Chains A and B, each alone.
Chain A
Amino acid sequence: MTKSYLSLELIDKSFERGGVRTEVLKQVSLSVDKGEFISIIGHSGCGKSTLLNIVAGLTQATTGVVLLDGRVADEPGPDRAVVFQNHSLLPWLTVYENVRLGVDKVFGSTKSKAERHEWTMRNLELVQMAHAADKRPSEVSGGMKQRVGIARALAMEPKVLLLDEPFGALDALTRAHLQDQVMQIHAELGNTVLMITHDVDEAVLLSDRIVMMTNGPSARIGEVLAVPLARPRRRIELAADRTYLKCREAVLKFLYERHRFVEAAE
């Protein structure tokens, strides 16, 4: 057994539909240290979301195992909080209640009511959404919804934060703003983060390491790129930074030269 905080050991995943077996992931192994920020990048359909769902426990691996902090993680749980691509806030609850639901569930027995309230508000403040605590999700913008989704996940004090293309549906400016906020939170709290993305700049800017997936079916980890950039990182300074550009080039080359996206034959 490896000593890393989160480890994916020889994950295989295949779906069977109508007697036809499709292999999605093949022999995916990855070790993540505590506090590390990992991005998983690949063309659409390469199974990166499936991989995240397996770590989250929402999908079962066909073979292989996910170990978190020395224990097998095969069921969903708040120790692997997910920020979903489309925010997935419950529309009938207010912003506050959406976060509070998770807080009550995780800290119901260890924190008093007042402490849980305070903790909910602290996490909303962390993503600068405390001012909209009593609004419903339909009354705030897409970027705000995603921030609440992040607050909900953070408030569960997860061992690993799983981000499933969290900024994919946002406009470029909002996305940049949220990326900065995620970097800040990561610097402050030192979370272990696993993020799915298809945005090269986002991956290089945020990650300690970038995991590049080959095209499916039978996708595997093609290459892992370490990003040796000091933190805190500032996007404007990095725009001309040689290391940044090199990393960016390496990811682009992997995605567009060696593993060009080909329309999978149906």
Chain B
Amino acid sequence: MVAEVSVEGYEAYKKAAEENKSKLVFALFCGSVNANGESWCPDCVTAAPVIADNLKHAPKDSVFIHCGVGGRDFWKDQNNVFRKDPVLKLKSVPTLLKIGHPQRLEEAQCAKPEMVKMLLEED
């Protein structure tokens, strides 16, 4: 079974990715939720159950990092660290990545079961 890790913010993401660099790592970047558990990012909310349903397709021994990118204002800053990171180069949330591989799904693609399954499955 894939090991799930939840982190908040860029530094915590980098730390989690570094700790698991010997493994196959998937990462999902979503808008962070507030104290009441509400998200500012409707696409992230739509994608969440689809991704949860398909996690069973990820190879065992792989790691799945759920990362909150912060509040809406932080994310909308075009120069935020997630957008500027040369590996992540995020353009939108949600973004689902297979780290170190070209596989990437963005926005509504993350809510398509077939696409999520394809990204998580072994080639």
Partners in one complex: no
Seen from chain B, the residues whose Cβ lies within 8 Å of a Cβ on chain A are none
Seen from chain A, the residues whose Cβ lies within 8 Å of a Cβ on chain B are none
